[in-house]
């Protein structure tokens, strides 16, 4: 089998004018699109440098208890914080009274001192053995049922500051109700004296 020879020669390839114009238009379009695309990409990147997309929840469901009981906070506590350091009252005579004022603050110190006076006469060494085999120790007569709590070990409550610190922790959690003199009202006889 013989392979035929193809003679191309020096023939000029004739490209029609229409084809040339179409090719030129397509090339121009690609250049314009490339430039426009580049400009558009730069603009989008620039926008994202100073903006971000945040996807929010369209609907949020929160389940709550129908009724809650919350302890009211006395608003004057915030006023005291804003005012700053309040000068110590002049009627504080002992170190224990001064420390009670420092710990309980301007609002509660008079009641705290009255309870401590009614419970122990402000005596650090006051000890009472109760009929239920528990003991009360120190200025605030901290009961031995509290000895397992933080700040309330027997070692803590045996000192004036430790006793006051423990009393303050109990007060923050339960109010004044753990003290018998509060419940009976007998602290009122020494209140402000």
pLDDT band (50, 70, 90) for residue 135: very high
Is residue 178 a contact partner of residue 154, using CB atoms and an 8 Å limit?
A: no
**Mean pLDDT in residue range 81-109:** 79
161-180 b/e with 16+ CB inside 10 Å = b?
ebbbbbbbbbbeeeebebbe
Which SS3 state, helix, strand or coil, does residue 127 take?
strand
CA 43 to chain centre: 41
Q: Are both 90 and 183 inside the same structural domain? A: yes
What is the structure's pLDDT at 192? 62
* Residues paired with 94 in a beta bridge: none
What is the structure's pLDDT at 83? 46
CA 11 to chain centre: 88
What is the structure's pLDDT at 161? 95
**Mean pLDDT in residue range 157-177:** 94
Question: Count of alpha carbons within 13 Å of 117, Cβ hemisphere only?
Answer: 19
Does the pLDDT value for residue 157 go beyond 50? yes
Q: Are both 100 and 161 inside the same structural domain? A: yes
Give tens-digit pLDDT for 41-87.
Answer: 788 788 778 878 788 888 878 888 888 887 766 555 554 454 445 55
Q: Are both 38 and 94 inside the same structural domain? A: no
Please give the residue that has the higher pLDDT: either 171 or 190: 171
Please give the residue that has the higher pLDDT: either 152 or 36: 152
* CA–CA distance, 136 with 127 (Å, rounded to integer): 6
Q: Would 34 be classed as within a structural domain?
A: yes
Write a three-state SS string for 129-146: ECCCCCEEECCCCEEHHH
Q: Would 173 be classed as within a structural domain?
A: yes
pLDDT band (50, 70, 90) for residue 8: low
Q: Are both 46 and 90 inside the same structural domain? A: no
Q: Are both 98 and 45 inside the same structural domain? A: no
Q: Are both 96 and 171 inside the same structural domain? A: yes
What is the structure's pLDDT at 50? 82
26 is in which domain, residue-wise? 16-51
**Mean pLDDT in residue range 82-96:** 70
What is the structure's pLDDT at 118? 93
List CB contacts of 99: < 8 A, sequence separation 6 or more.
160, 161, 164
Q: Are both 41 and 86 inside the same structural domain? A: no
* CATH for 162: 1.10.530.10
Q: Are both 132 and 40 inside the same structural domain? A: no
Q: Would 138 be classed as within a structural domain?
A: yes
Among candidate residues 94, 138, 126, 120, the one with its CA nearest the CA of residue 186: 120
Q: Would 163 be classed as within a structural domain?
A: yes
Q: Would 24 be classed as within a structural domain?
A: yes
**Mean pLDDT in residue range 143-164:** 93
CA dihedral 153, 154, 156, 159 (to 10 degrees): 160
* pTM for this entry: 0.55
- Domains of the chain: total: 2
């Amino acid at each position: 089998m013989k392979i035929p020879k193809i003679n191309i020669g020096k023939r000029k390839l004739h490209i029609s004018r229409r084809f040339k114009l179409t090719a030129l238009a397509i090339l121009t379009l690609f250049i314009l699109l490339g430039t426009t695309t580049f400009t558009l990409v730069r603009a989008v990147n620039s926008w994202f440098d100073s903006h971000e997309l945040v996807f929010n929840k369209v609907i949020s469901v929160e389940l709550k208890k129908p009724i809650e009981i919350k302890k009211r906070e006395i608003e004057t506590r915030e006023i005291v914080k804003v005012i700053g350091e309040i000068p110590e009252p002049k009627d504080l005579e002992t170190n224990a009274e001064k420390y009670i004022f420092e710990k309980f603050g301007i609002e509660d110190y008079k009641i705290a001192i009255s309870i401590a006076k009614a419970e122990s006469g402000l005596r650090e060494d006051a000890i009472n053995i109760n009929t239920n085999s528990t003991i009360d120790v120190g200025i605030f007569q901290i009961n031995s049922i509290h000895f397992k709590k933080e700040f309330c070990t027997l070692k803590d409550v045996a000192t004036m500051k430790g006793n006051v610190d423990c009393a303050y922790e109990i007060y923050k959690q339960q109010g004044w109700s753990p003290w018998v003199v509060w419940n009976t009202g007998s602290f009122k006889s020494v209140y402000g004296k």
